[in-house]
Amino acid sequence: MSMATSITVRVPLTIRCRPGRKTVVTPVQRDEAAAVPTRADPALVKALARALRHQRTLDERRYASISEMATGECMERSYLGTLLRLTLLAPDIVEAILDGRASDGLGLPALLEPRPEIWATQRQCLTTG
């Protein structure tokens, strides 16, 4: 039997609020004078960040179950479950979303639809619509 392992991915970034928009600032940009604006969909970025935060909370065993977490976070259990599915997206899909390279038809409602866990199938589903 193999033991289940957990992988933690840390992305060093800061989100700066500007009038009317948010800007992602990477460590390289911190040393520079101006931040580079992102074309990323803010709703998608927020949803991914929330999903990863909730997954980390579960991994740290702060809550015993998704239902307990939903109650503790004052969220609907079904929405929390849907949001947590975003943590299963292929890394290149997540990177495309964060870089603003996601296809125009890929909005939050489409991303929250049930998707296969196999990354190749996810790519195919998201490119064919």
Q: 65-88: per-residue pLDDT in tens?
A: 999 999 999 999 999 999 999 999
Tokens describing residue 103: 């296809």
Rounded CA-CA distance 22/15 in Å is 6
At residue 32, the pLDDT reads 54
Closest to 85 in 3D by CA, of 123, 45, 43, 114: 114
Residue 90: Cβ within 10 Å count: 17
How does the average pLDDT of the chain come out, rounded?
84
More confident residue, 79 or 123: 79
Is residue 36 over pLDDT 70? no
pTM of the model: 0.68
Domain boundaries, the chain: 11-40, 41-128
Q: Identify whether the C-beta of residue 45 lies closer than 8 Å to the C-beta of residue 23.
A: no
- Residue whose token pair is 């038809």: 105
Percent of the chain topping pLDDT 90: 44
